Each structure stands twice: as C-alpha cells, then as structure tokens.
Chain A
Amino acid sequence: MTILVILIPVTLLMGIVGLGAFFWTLHSNQYEDLSGDAERILFDDDRPLPAQNVQAPAKLKETPS
C-alpha cells in the first residue's frame, strides 16, 4: 500500500492547515461574543446610506461610542 505514503501525509497536512486555522481563530478573538455573532447576521446594516439620508452625519454623532 505504497499509496498511503502519499495519502496519509497529504491528509495530515490538510489537518495541520485546519489546526493552524483554528489557532488563528483563537488568537484573533473569533469566539469572544458567540451569541452576538450568531444574532448579527439577522440584521442588515443599521443605517441607511448617507447619500439617501441627509441627516446621517448628525445621527452618527449621537451614537454612543
């Protein structure tokens, strides 16, 4: 089964890439606010575009930061 000499390393390599990606997610704080993350996809952007709404800049200032 010499083929396994290729398939197993390739598979392991993909696993390592996956693991690397997983560690990257840990480092870049991907799991800080899971319930918020799940919920935010349900909303579109919160403001209409500035071009469509002349008062947008004024509104922006009001938002607490």
Chain B
Amino acid sequence: MMSNLTGAERTSAMLISGMGVVIGLTMAIVGRNDVMGAQGWIVLAFSAVVFFMVANALYHPEPTEDRTTSYYDDPTKVGIVLALVWAVVAMGIGVWVAAQLAWPGLRFDAAWSSFGRIRPVHTSGVIFGFGGNALIATSYHIMQRTSRARMPDQVTPWFVLLGFNLFCIIAASGYLMGVTQSKEYAEPEWYADIWLVVVWVAYFVLYIRTLARRNEPHIYVANWYYLAFILVVAVLHIVNNLAIPASLAGAKSYSAFSGVQDAMTQWWYGHNAVAFFLTSGFLGMLYYFLPKRADRPIYSYRLSILSFWGITFFYIWAGSHHLHYTALPHWVQTLGMTFSVMLLIPSWASAGNALMTLNGAWHKVRDDATLRFMMVAAVFYGLSTFEGSFMAIRPVNALSHYTDWTIGHVHAGAMGWVALITFGSIYALTPVLWHRERMYSAKAVEWHFWLALAGTVIYVFAMWNSGITQGLMWRTYTQSGTLRFSFTDTLIAMHPYYVARALGGLLFVTGACIGFWNVIMTIRHVSKQNRELDHPTSPKATEPVLPVAE
C-alpha cells in the first residue's frame, strides 16, 4: 500500500501524522489531571502508529505506474475492511446493551460497562464507525467510477479515512471513561468535534476536486446524495456543537444554548443526522450499486433526481417532530409534523424507483443474495419512512414517544435499511475492488442474508409489541382516575420482548461475522480476474460522449 505513494506523499503523510503526535502529547500533558489526558495518549498512539508505518517505507522504491490509467482504490479497500470491523464490534456491543436491558446484572458492576456508557458506544459505533466508514469507502469508489477520473491526490483520501476513524476511536473510548456532552449522536466533547470539522472539510474538498476532474459531462445522481450528506452534516455538526469548554485543560464543555433552545438545536441536528447521515448517503449507495448489480439502469432516472431535491428541501424542516408536547411552541411542532408527512412522497419515490428497477429481473433477485439484500433494504426503507411519517403525527406520537416503538422504528431503518444496503453494496463491491472473480462463498452470503433478515424481523416485531403494550399500559386509568399500572408492571410486561430482541440481535451479528469472514477469504483465496476496462477515461482518448446524431 505504501509502495503506491511517492516520496513527497510519504513525507507529507509523515508530517501530518507527526503533527498528530504533537497534538496528542499536548493534550496528554495539558489534560493530565483530567480524562482528556487519557484521550491525548490515544491520539498520540494512533498518530505514532501511522507515523512509523510510513517512516518504515520512506525509502522503499517509488511507484512507476502511470497514474492516469487507473483508479486509486487502496483507501477504499481499507475503508471497507474497517467498516466490517466496526460492524462486528458495535453490533456485538448492541447485543450486550440489549442483554443488559433484559438482565441488568450483565453490567458486572464496573463503571465503564454501565448501560449509559456502552449504549453510546453502540450507537456511535454503528452509525459512525460502520455506517461512516462504509459511506466514505463507497463514495471514493463511486466518485471515481462515475466521473471516469482518478482522485486528484493520494494523501487526502487517507487523511479523511484515518482521521475519521481517529474521531470514532476518541468518541468510543471517551464514552467508556465517562466523557460525553449528553447530546444524542453528538456525544463527543469539543476537541473531537473540532477535529471532525477539519476532516470533514477535507472530505468535501476532495469530493469536489474529483468531480472537477471528471471525464464525463454528467454528474450521476448518486454523487448528489453523497454531496448533500457531506455538506449538511458539516453544517449541522458545527451548529449543534457550539460550546464553550469549561477549561482548555479538560474535556467538559457547556453548550452555547440552554433549555428548550438547546433541545431544539439538538433535534434539528439529530433528525437531520438521520436524514443526511443514515439516509441520503445510503441512497447514493442504492442508486449506484443496485443498477450495477442488476445490470439495468434505474427505472426512472428523472424521478431519482426529483426525489433527491425533494428530500433535500423537505427533510431539514422536520426535526421538531422529536419534541411534540414539549415546551417548544405549538406552531413549530406543527411545522415539523407537516413536513414529516410530506416527506413520505420523495421517500417512497426512491423506494418505489428501486423496486421498479428490479421489476422484470425477479429471477436475478431470487438467485442472487446480494441483490436480495438491496431489494429488502429498499422495502425496509419504504416501511420505516411510512412509519416515521405516521409517528410524526402529534396524537400518534403521544402513544409512541418514550416507548420501544421508537426503538423499533429506529432499527427498522438502521438494520433493515442502512445495514442491509451496506452489506449488499459491500458484496457487490468486494470482487470489483480486489479484482476477484466472485465472492469466496455464495452460500455464506445466502446465510448472511437470512440471518440478517430474521434478526431484523424479530427485533422490529419485538419492539413494536413491547412499545405499544408499554404505551397503552402507561395511559390506562382506573375508574377513580388513577393510573392502573405501576412502572414496574410495564417492565415485567416488556421482559419477554427484550429477550427476543437480544436474540434477534445475536442472529444479526452472527450474519455480520460471516460477512466479515467471507470478505477476508475473498481477498485471500479467490483467484484474480483482470478487469481490463475498469480504468479512468484517458484524457487523450476522450471522444465526445454525446450521441453523434445530436
């Protein structure tokens, strides 16, 4: 991998990681009386490993290949493997969290293993670690292939990928030590937030520079979904994390806003994080890998562009549906509710478009588990957006809010849609990326598919049941107008569902482990296949791409 970097590139990689070492050391010294010090050592260790890996190869022979004739895939490969590692770890922790809810003793009385600390390790681990790495890796692939151009340089993609993983590691290790600013999905403290801004800006610039080099006049719609994901997440992240550190020598900071103002900012962020992190980017994946795998163009390309602009303009306004019946003014709640319902249209347009693309190729869906992953993902996307629009209606939310129904909705989206489309894309991408004929074991893909589907269905049904039971019990009154059930009564009623959920999660993780194994075996054991035509259009040979008749 290092051998593909020139001497100058190796030097700048060493400079950057050297700076990381210095920053880590500074944090460790300045924050020695605080948990920030421990975080500093982690930064230092991470940067030092990168530094020595590059230094080790500094005087190796330089690459001689002609860069215009190939795509740059090394960071994509590492990103895919990292995504799978995070998947196994973070979903494994999800099962542990689920098991703790069924059997609280599984905490083993340590501070770091308490529910409040490992729960965010699960959520950040799956969303950012697994989802984020998968998004970055697939975006590297898609931006180059659809532009028929190579990335502009070879240092930025590494900086973005490794820098992002450093952020995830600081976040996850921080939670275990009790570092959190208590904003869901934005728990990391100020130094991690600043770091993510730097990484994210580099990511955006890299994307734009690659598009600017394109040898293809049209920008394929998947790129727009990725760009919206990058740009909006940047803005949301900056606004929601505006905070004043209590001291530059410690992790603690105070939000710039307070009370309901802060809550509104948090859910403006939180909802759009769902929209642009867990939806927009993954739609980009869907719009590229589904047509590719089915080998037929998207059913209506026009509709895919329309739904892109629809989602972009509607989603932003829906965040207040997380704050129904709170101190938030009524009209702001109504605004969020209205936009949430309208959102169903562009959402279903995408789901329908994906399914219509497969119409006429059902035999492929039957025979190919990879394509089936993508099809089921589109179905769950349709399902969870329908459910979301329904739950956003104020009286419905009165029942669903605070209950496991929300958790069911989350995982219908997160497991059924986000994870399944990612696994499908990884299976489609792996052979292309490593120039392999096929996946190592088609049977293992099949197993993974059924385990993932069974796991999701068990999880989601358990939570629907538990959530509605819980919600109804909470609002049952006796004749004399007092509450009929105590809180403990609801806990007892939920116990069997919690056990079922842990079981569903276990199936799902088992599938992910099989997938990880299959990818590694594909890389190591499947014979190579030369892909003669998978290269950038050389600028010398560019012909007008428009049809001659025009």
Contacts and interface: CB of A to CB of B under 8 A. Distances in A.
A40 B232 contact: no
Nearest to A51: B69
Contact of A63 (B217, B316, B543): B543
Interface in A8-61: 10-11, 14-15, 17-18, 22, 25, 29-52, 56, 60
Contacts of B288: 41
B491 interface: no
Interface stretch (B44-52, B55-63, B166-174, B301-309): B301-309
B243 to A, nearest CB: 14
B312 A42 contact: no
B466 to A, nearest CB: 34
A2 B532 contact: no
B534 interface: yes
A30 to B, nearest CB: 6
Nearest to B69: A49
A37 B239 contact: no
Contacts of B264: 1, 3-4, 7
Nearest to A18: B312
Contacts of A22: 309
Contact of A11 (B302, B305, B317, B328): B317
Given A30-B219, A31-B305, A50 B292 contact: no
A34 B301 contact: yes
A65 B536 CA distance: 20
Contacts of B217: 29
B412 to A, nearest CB: 27
A41 B316 contact: no
A10 B84 CA distance: 35
Interface string B533-548: 1111110110111111
Given A49-B535, A63-B543, A6 B301 contact: no
Nearest to B262: A3
Contact of B538 (A2, A36, A50): A50
A37 B537 CA distance: 16
B532 A3 contact: no
Given A1-B261, A1-B332, A45-B536, A60 B531 contact: no
A2 B312 CA distance: 25
Interface in B290-328: 291-292, 295-298, 301-302, 305, 309, 312-313, 316-317, 328
Which A-B residue pairs are the 4 nearest by beta carbons?
A44-B533, A38-B301, A3-B261, A38-B297
